[in-house]
């Protein structure tokens, strides 16, 4: 955390303002509206990953029209995308209630952005969300809990039906081990409709997260391009002639 704080202070000298006791306002080059971070939280390294280390610098040749941001956290990936592609439609999905409030704050002035306070899963169910690994707000984990879960889980099929999506250009997933469930089953209908997946795989948190993901990719995509950028794995679906 101290490393990231030092990086940001060096990079954005005189561009940060203490907005309140708990929030820092960041004015970032080429970003239309200020960004808000919670002081002394994992918002700081999250910010560094996206705006300093450029871990979401993609190799796409065409501008996306539809993005689903799964595990949107406080909205920094969505902010980046809206400034790169102002006309893109973004659906942000974030289960943690405190992160969700910050997500809406950081994106309140952008058009065509939609918010879902829920978790992506392989079926519609109920989840509990908690800091399972004591890693802070950038690593909140969800688990199915039908009796006590207070967060709705939404499947990709349901999400696409709700927003009438025929395809998704970018599916970004940073879902803190939930990829293990998302790609375990019930992906056969929606996965072929994804053009590019940007995912952080969390085997380092829970063993076995990568296996169902790559099995689903290899079963679904006849032709694809694979590369990594920082902690992210990027899969470009080249299977459809339409793309």
The domain that holds 109 is classified in CATH as 3.40.50.150
Task: Give which of 213, 180, 211 is closest to 194, Cα–Cα.
Answer: 213
Residue 36 placed within a domain: no
pLDDT in tens, 152-211: 999 999 999 999 999 999 999 999 889 999 999 999 999 999 999 999 999 888 899 999
Establish if 167 belongs to a structural domain: yes
Domain count, the chain: 1
Q: Residue 131: left if φ>0, alpha if ψ -120 to 50, beta else—which one?
A: beta
Q: Is the four-CA dihedral 174, 43, 66, 224 of positive or negative sign?
A: negative
- What span, in angstroms and rounded, lies between the C-alpha atoms of 23 and 49? 19
Q: Which domain holds residue 146?
A: 56-237
Strands, E, within the chain: which ranges? 16-18, 23-26, 35-38, 66-70, 89-93, 113-116, 119-121, 125-130, 141-144, 151-155, 168-173, 194-200, 224-229, 232-237
Is residue 10, in this structure, part of any structural domain at all? no
Residue 66 maps to a domain:
yes
Q: What is the full per-residue pLDDT of the chain (243 aa) written as tens digits?
A: 434 444 444 444 335 555 566 899 999 999 999 999 999 888 999 999 999 999 999 999 899 999 999 999 999 999 999 999 999 999 999 999 999 999 999 999 999 999 999 999 999 999 987 776 666 665 667 777 888 888 999 999 999 999 999 999 999 999 988 999 999 999 999 999 999 999 999 988 889 999 999 999 999 999 999 999 999 999 999 987 665
- 121 in a domain, yes or no? yes
Q: Indicate whether 76 belongs to any domain.
A: yes
């Amino acid at each position: 955390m101290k490393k990231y704080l030092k990086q940001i202070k060096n990079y954005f000298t005189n561009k940060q303002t203490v907005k309140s006791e708990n929030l820092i306002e960041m004015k970032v080059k080429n970003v239309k509206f200020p960004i808000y971070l919670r002081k002394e939280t994992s918002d700081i390294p999250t910010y560094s990953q996206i705006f300093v280390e450029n871990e979401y610098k993609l190799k796409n040749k065409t501008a996306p029209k539809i993005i689903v941001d799964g595990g949107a956290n406080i909205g920094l990936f969505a902010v980046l995308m809206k400034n790169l592609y102002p006309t893109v439609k973004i659906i942000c999905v974030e289960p943690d209630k405190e992160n969700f409030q910050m997500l809406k704050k950081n994106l309140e002035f952008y058009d065509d952005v939609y918010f879902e306070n829920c978790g992506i899963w392989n079926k519609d169910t109920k989840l509990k969300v908690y800091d399972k690994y004591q890693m802070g707000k950038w690593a909140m984990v969800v688990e199915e809990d039908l009796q006590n879960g207070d967060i709705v889980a939404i499947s990709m099929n349901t999400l696409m039906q709700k927003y009438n999506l025929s395809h998704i250009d970018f599916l970004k997933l940073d879902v803190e081990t939930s990829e293990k469930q998302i790609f375990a089953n019930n992906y056969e209908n929606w996965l072929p409709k994804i053009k590019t997946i940007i995912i952080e795989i969390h085997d380092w948190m829970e063993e076995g997260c990568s296996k169902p993901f790559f099995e689903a990719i290899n079963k679904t995509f006849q032709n694809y391009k694979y590369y990594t950028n920082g902690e992210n794995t990027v899969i470009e679906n080249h299977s459809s002639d339409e793309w």
